[in-house]
Homo-oligomer: A and B are copies of this chain.
């Protein structure tokens, strides 16, 4: 065991859903180890760890966070847990509940973005579901993405502060929104650019999050993995509808 406070287990070569956790850890300045990236056989190490004998929680899928005896899975649960420990969500219950439900709506958006390249089966290659992917991507870019982003734009308008979705200060949901916008801009350069003008507050939030000192340092570091066509957000020109 390392001496770092947190141990993150995630695929070693993609941002994926692990990135949502990394952003909270990095913004908090928390001490953590990205376990699998340090392992010799990397992906193999993750599967071996997942299947290994352990007491406590049985995790369904990565990302997984170990903190002392706790073994946490599900991105939204991990982010909320870290945020509550590191001041990235207000202490009062009403705001926490508001953040929780917004975070799950981000998760819904991300799951739909993923399914643009895997509309039929996560167990099959993209190349085996390309016609269906084109149909789903078109529906996503013309209907679903604008619906989600329009919702978050209205949330920001309503919050009416100089912070993020909760108004006064940046919270973990804002970090997740930032990464989701980065991912959408990567995956759909034309489709996203064609619509981003409709969401000025979201675009301002994206810029503001990237400027937070710890995050700016992280984003410029080698710790930040690039997007690719192995990840959650993939750039396939044939799926980029305007």
- Chain A residues proximal to chain B, CB less than 8 Å: 57-60, 69-70, 72-74, 76-77, 81, 94, 97-98, 100-101, 104-105, 107-108, 111, 115, 119-124, 129, 132, 135-136, 139, 143-144, 148, 151, 154-155, 158
Known: A97-B70, A98-B57, A101-B77. A136 touches B155 (CB 8 A): no
- On whether the beta carbons of A100 and B77 are closer than 8 Å, the reply is yes
Known A-B contacts: A119-B136, A120-B132. Give 5 more (CB < 8 A).
A70-B97, A73-B101, A108-B111, A111-B111, A123-B139
Contacts of A108 in B (CB 8 A): 60, 111
Given contacts A119-B132, A119-B136, contact A105 B60 (CB under 8 A): yes
This chain: copies in complex: 2
Across the interface, A139 reaches (CB within 8 A) one of B59, B81, B120, namely: B120
Q: Of A58, A59, A72, which is in contact with the most chain B CB atoms at under 10 Å from its CB?
A: A58
Please measure, in the bound complex, the distance between the C-alpha atom of A81 and the C-alpha atom of B104, giving whole angstroms: 14
In the assembled complex, the CB of A199 is this many whole angstroms from the nearest CB of chain B, namely 15
| Chain B residue contacts of A111, Cβ below 8 A | 108, 111
CB-nearest residue of chain B to A148? B60
A129 / chain B contacts, CB cutoff of 8 Å: 135
> Which residues of chain B are near A74, meaning CB under 8 Å?
100-101, 104-105
10 contacts between A and B (CB under 8 A): A58-B155, A60-B108, A70-B97, A72-B97, A77-B97, A119-B119, A119-B136, A120-B132, A123-B143, A124-B139
Assembled-state Cα–Cα distance A100/B96 (Å): 14
Assembly CA distance A105 to B107 (angstroms): 12
- For residue A120, which residues in chain B have a CB less than 8 angstroms away from its CB? 119, 132, 135-136, 139
